Amino acid sequence: MTVYAQGNPDLSLAPPVVATLLSMADALLSMVEQVAAGRGTALPERRVVYMAPIPADCPQVAILVGGWSPEPQWQGLAVCAPARWVAQLGVIITRLTPAKPSASGDLPKASDLRVAAAMASEDAELLLEVVGGLDEIAGDVLIATPAAEGGLQSVTLQVRTPAFGGL
């Protein structure tokens, strides 16, 4: 199946722009980078586009491709094709965390926990700004700040956006 992007009407005779999961993921990564630059937030150097889920095993920004789903949702046997297709996309920003036990096994200091919370808060605000820059979202949006594990902490965004004008 081919899905075509429809932003402003193109009155030229150029062929339509094909919206693929990969092209939408690339556009989302570009948005994340632009928002971070505008906020003065340094992102991890490693930037990847991959299928969801991805292990959070190093500092990175990952755009996760979850697939296509129809909207509105099909109920039972459908006679007609869905009105449109929406992409299931995600963003994960993974960083080294200060919220880890010391080499001797002592619990992290309260000040280190606060620094980790501040890092997560900043990344969550960055992702909230990215969501605000989307032309349209389809359904629920979730920005999560789970606890650090193994010396790394991640902030995640899950969003569904239509192929037609979402990015």
Angle between helices 21-39 and 110-133 (to 10 degrees): 120
The pLDDT value recorded for residue 14 is 60
Q: If you average pLDDT over residues 111-122, what whole number do you get?
A: 97
The pLDDT value recorded for residue 69 is 87
Beta carbons within 10 angstroms of residue 60's beta carbon: 20
Q: If you average pLDDT over residues 2-6, what whole number do you get?
A: 47
The pLDDT value recorded for residue 4 is 47
What is the C-alpha to C-alpha distance for residues 45 and 66, in angstroms, rounded to an integer? 23
What is the C-alpha to C-alpha distance for residues 134 and 61, in angstroms, rounded to an integer? 18
* pLDDT band, residue 131 (cuts 50/70/90): very high
Phi, psi torsion values for 155, nearest 5 degrees: -120, 135
Higher pLDDT, 79 or 1: 79
Higher pLDDT, 53 or 81: 53
Contact 127, 61 (CB under 8 A): no
Whether the predicted pLDDT of 102 surpasses 80: yes
The pTM score is 0.84
Higher pLDDT, 103 or 77: 103
Domains and CATH numbers, the chain: 21-162 (3.30.2000)
Q: If you average pLDDT over residues 44-65, what whole number do you get?
A: 96
